[in-house]
Amino acid sequence: SWPMVSGSSFGVMARYVDSRNFYYLSIEPQSRIALRRFVNGAAFELARAQLPRAAGVPNRLRLEALGPALRAYVDGKLILEVRDRTHTKGQYGLATFRTAAEFHNFDVTRP
Strand 77-83: give its sheet, edge to edge: 61-66, 69-74, 77-83
CA-to-CA distance for 46 and 110, rounded, in angstroms? 23
Q: 21 or 30, which is more confident?
A: 21
- The whole-number pLDDT of residue 8 equals 79
Q: Give CA–CA dist 18/68, Å, rounded.
A: 19
**Lowest mean pLDDT: which of 45-59, 73-87, 90-104?**
45-59
Residue 55: what pLDDT?
55
Integer-rounded Cα radius of gyration of the chain: 13
Rounded CA-CA distance 9/61 in Å is 13
Q: What is the pLDDT of residue 29?
A: 76
Higher pLDDT among residues 1 and 90, named by residue = 90
- Specify the pLDDT at position 100: 75
Question: Phi and psi at residue 35, in whole multiples of 5°?
Answer: -115, 125
The per-residue pLDDT of the chain, averaged, comes to 85
Q: What is the mean pLDDT of residues 3-12?
A: 68
At residue 56, the pLDDT reads 60
Q: What is the pTM of this model?
A: 0.85
Q: How far apart are CA 80 and CA 12, in angstroms?
A: 14
Average pLDDT over residues 52-78: 84
Smallest CA-to-CA distance from 28 within 61, 54, 2 is with 2
Q: Is the pLDDT of residue 1 over 50?
A: no
